[in-house]
Structure 1
Amino acid sequence: MISAETRGVFAIAPTPFLPSGALDMASLGRMTERYRDCGVDGLTILGIMGEAQKLEPEESLAVVREVIAHAQGLPVVVGISAPGFAAMKRLSAAAMEMGAAGVMMTPPAAMRSDDQIAGWFSGAVAQIGGDVPFVLQDHPTATGVVMSNAVIRRVVDENPSCVMLKHEDWPGLEKISAIRRWQAEGEMRALSILCGNGALFLDMEMARGADGAMTGYAFPEMLRRVVDLSVSDRDAAQDIYDAHLPLLRYEHQPGVGLAVRKHILARRGFIAHGDLRAPGAGPSEATRAEIDYLLARLAARDPGCGL
């Protein structure tokens, strides 16, 4: 199970599809094994990168089942966010029965005030059960839900099963500092902080006190090295990070970013096809040429990148 002491790198995994749009079940197993071989500490599935909103309920269960079956004990966090609690309750119960390490959730866009946000989390916990450890996903650029520092502390205080913050606010470095300050002063209990945003700020997030990364950058080997070196040799970590920054930036483009990431993962052999499920187009010829250029530059600047 994940806990407030969870550290390291959790790779956000995509959902692989065949060109027909059907789930690529064979790639699910291979992808899980490749991530494990990269040395990640865990996997997160059925998030935004996993195109969870495009899956039928039974398909979501199939993804969870297949990934956990190939994880060989690697902790798997399952995204369960949905417009209603019934779907969340069903997916959470099934995922935990299959062996998931916890779930991840964030409120729907209609939640605006601190009371609404805190009330939503309390309601969600009442449905999925207070014994299910959960990740509070704070991703306002994607969800439209703005969580203040105070409401995050309130949710953590009111729900002992909240063990981790997936930090994806932007700019959000001060949020990490505020939480760590409250904890140092005894005003907030322990909480794991793993950061997303495509690793675009991972170097600074680690310096602010983050415990690691939970994101889907196509080179988890970089995440592994940067997170590990951040505690022992910040300059070495920064050198590796700097080599990847152009590709990190390119992957983070709104709209096309997921297509770029899946294209690279397909090239690396994690998945057989880079296809998105409709609606969603693949990269254009011009985009693929730019990816080729960035990958060539990356291989030259960071020979240990995994290419």
Structure 2
Amino acid sequence: MLEDTQGLHVVAQTPFAPDDTVDHDSIDTLTAFYHRHGAKGLLVLGVSGEAQTLTPDETVGVAAAYVAASNGRPVIAGVSSPNLALLAEVTAQVRAEGAAGVMISPPASVRTDEDLMAYFDAVFARIGDVPVVLQDFPASSGVKMSVPAMARLIGAFPQIAVVKEEDMPSARKVAALRATVPWPVRILTGNNGLYLPQELARGADGPMAGFSYPEMLSGVDRLMRFDNDVAGAHALFNRYLPLLKHEAQGAMGIALRKEVMRRRGALAHAAMRAPGGTLTAEDIAELDAILAHMDLPA
């Protein structure tokens, strides 16, 4: 189960080779890179993991490769889809490959609290007793879930063990959820880690985010939640902020993240599948200028 989920769970990239195939060798090096820099687990096939560009077979293959490379550490697979039959099929397949659970975001067709309950009632009727991360990301899903509606949902479906909170203002909603949603439900945060210190201060259990320097995310989490070193956490966060902000640019931000991780030896190629971002010479020059002023580790 996912009740012990806390600390950094990296939103993993899907690596591609120049010929547009999935680069499975780089899944191995990425997994080692993430865990070497403090990841307690991985979320694969998320929005920034380019899941929408994969075929169903590739989707299961990527999840299986990350599970194999993680050597028993938890891997959660994103399975969100407006097609419930496909969602259920992919859920069964990734679970068979060893995924610890799945992440689900409600589809854009959900408009009311009753729609929300009915949707997840249909989901769990199909997938059964599978541990679930509920993703609250209205900027992507188009669905606004209130705290009372989420609490009602979690009360009705104990399979929901984790909330990935990405609604804005995220720190305020983390606090509201922490005051409303009972333990042992965990709250992790996303939004590329942009508001991580504030979210941790309001009660988050760690980040579920991607960044080319995951050691910053795990370091801030450790300093805030275990060392009680708030000043040190903010100093570490601020050191990386220019690059963190630069990576928060949608598809182009993912391309930038991949390029930095390629330079760090975490993956062989920075390629994205269409319609993903492609870096121009000007984009590379801007990235070089930012990195030149930051004096970051290799």
TM-score over 0.5 (shorter chain): yes
Q: Deviation of residue 272 (structure 1)?
A: 0.9
Contact 1:274 1:282 in 2 (8 A): no
**Gap regions ≥5 residues in structure 2:** none
Counterpart residue number, 1:162: 160
Contact persistence 2:92–2:127 (CA under 8 A): yes
Q: Please list every run of 5 or more consecutive structure 1 residues that lacks an aligned counterpart in the other structure.
A: none
CA contact (8 A) 1:103 1:135 kept: yes
Report which stretch shifted further, 151-160 or 110-119.
110-119
Q: TM-score, normalised by structure 2?
A: 0.96
Aligned residue identity for 2:212: A
What residue number does 1:279 align with? Answer: 275
Query: What's the CA shift for 1:278?
Result: 1.3
Matches within 5 A, 1:2-21: 2-3=2-3, 5-21=4-20
1:228 is matched with 222
Task: Name the structure 2 match of 1:205.
Answer: 199
TM-score, structure 1 normalization: 0.93
Q: Which amino acid aligns with 1:15?
A: T
Supply the RMSD in Å over aligned alpha carbons: 1.3
Q: Counterpart in 1 of 2:27?
A: 28
Contact map agreement 1:165 1:194 (CA 8 A) in 2? yes
Q: Secondary structure at the match of 1:153?
A: helix
Counterpart-to-counterpart distance in 2, 1:126 and 1:73? 28
Structure 1 distance, partners of 2:214, 2:131, is 24
Does the CA contact (< 8 Å) of 1:21 and 1:278 recur in 2?
A: no
* 1:165-211 deviation digits (Å, cap 9, x = unpaired): 0011121222111122225xxxx443101100000000100000000
Measured against aligned partners, the alpha-carbon deviations of 1:66-106 in whole angstroms (never above 9, x if no partner) come to: 11111011100000111211111111111112111111010
**Pairing 1:1-307 to 2, within 5 Å after superposition:** 1-3=1-3, 5-129=4-128, 131-183=129-181, 188-231=182-225, 232-299=228-295, 306-307=297-298
Q: Which amino acid aligns with 1:291?
A: L
Q: Distance in 2 between matches of 1:65 and 1:128?
A: 19
Task: Give, as a single letter, the amino acid of the residue that structure 2 aligns with 1:237.
Answer: A
Identical amino acids, percent of aligned pairs: 40
Secondary structure of the equivalent of 2:8? strand
- Give every structure 1 segment of 4 or more consecutive aligned residues whose post-TM-superposition deviation is greater than 4 Å: none
CA deviation map 1:213-254 (0-9, x unaligned): 000111110011100000220000000001111111111123
Q: Give the secondary structure class of the aligned counterpart of 1:215.
A: coil
* Cα distance in 2, alignment partners of residues 149 and 257 from structure 1: 30
**How many residues in Structure 1 have an aligned counterpart in Structure 2?**
296
- Which segment is superposed worse, 213-222 or 17-26? 17-26
